[in-house]
Amino acid sequence: MSAVIHLNEASFSTAIESGVTLVDFWAPWCGPCKMQGPILDKLVETVSEKATIAKLDVDQFPAPASQFGVRGIPTLILFKDGDVAQTLVGVQQEETLVAAIETALK
């Protein structure tokens, strides 16, 4: 079972307000998003002590995607204490995401 947290518009603000949180803006019909899913499942095993890994379905909950200028999916935004630390567009490999999280933790 995945430890990736599924967010909605109500839980989004709380999820990103403190610590390091990686949010995958995605949709169920998106092919590249389906490729990103298993990578996030592995990532959560690697970084669960350091960061929260979450997903937000942009079809069901469009407001946060609009707020942060998400134009294409998958878009992964790394937040640190509520602020955008890094934005990555397209499928990202685990090593890239681990490096981004480590940088945000400094």
* Rounded-to-integer distance, Cα 71 and Cα 89, Å: 9
Catalytic residue status for 100? no
Contact between 82 and 17 under an 8 Å Cβ cutoff? The reply is yes
Question: Which helix (H) or strand (E) is 103 found in, with range?
Answer: helix 94-105
Task: Give me the torsion for CA of 43, 47, 51, 53, rounded to 10°.
Answer: 20
The one-character DSSP state at 79 is: E
Q: Does residue 30 carry a catalytic annotation? A: yes
Tell me which of 5, 27, 30, 89 is the catalytic residue. 30
Residues 6 or more apart whose CB falls under 8 angstroms from that of 11 comprise: none
- From the list 33, 58, 65, 78, the catalytic residue is 33
Tell me the catalytic residues.
30, 33
